Amino acid sequence: MQWMLNNKFKMKNHFSLPNSGHNFDAKGSKLGMWLFLFTELLLFGGLFLTYLVYRNLYHEAFLQSSFHLNKWAGFTNTIVLLTSSMTVAMSIVALKKGAKNKAIWLLALTIIAAGIFMVIKYFEWSVKFEHGLFPGMDHYMSMEPGEKIYFFLYFFMTGLHGLHVIIGAVFIAVVIKKIANSKVNKDRVSLHENAGLYWHLVDLVWIYLFPLFYLIR
Q: Contact positions toward another protein, by CB under 8 A?
A: 1-3, 6-7, 10, 13-22, 25, 27-29, 31-32, 35-36, 38-47, 49-50, 53-54, 57-58, 135-136, 144-146, 148-149, 152, 156
Pick the closer one to another protein by CB: 19 or 181. Answer: 19
Q: HSE on the CB side for 156, CA within 13 Å?
A: 14
Pick the closer one to another protein by CB: 41 or 216. Answer: 41
Pick the closer one to another protein by CB: 136 or 181. Answer: 136
Q: Are 165 and 171 in contact (CB under 8 A)?
A: no
Residue 126 makes CB contacts below 8 A (sequence gap 6+) with none
Rounded to a whole number of angstroms, the minimum distance from the CB of residue 22 to another protein is 6
Rounded to a whole number of angstroms, the minimum distance from the CB of residue 191 to another protein is 13
DSSP H helices, 58-137, are 59-66, 71-96, 100-130
Rounded to a whole number of angstroms, the minimum distance from the CB of residue 27 to another protein is 7
**212 secondary structure, DSSP code:** I
Backbone angles phi, psi at 14, to 5 degrees: -80, 165
Go through 167-178 and write b for each residue having 16 or more CB atoms within 10 A of its CB, e for each that does not. Answer: ebbebbbebbeb
Cα–Cα dist 27/80, whole Å: 30
Pick the closer one to another protein by CB: 61 or 90. Answer: 61
Pick the closer one to another protein by CB: 107 or 146. Answer: 146
Rounded to a whole number of angstroms, the minimum distance from the CB of residue 18 to another protein is 6
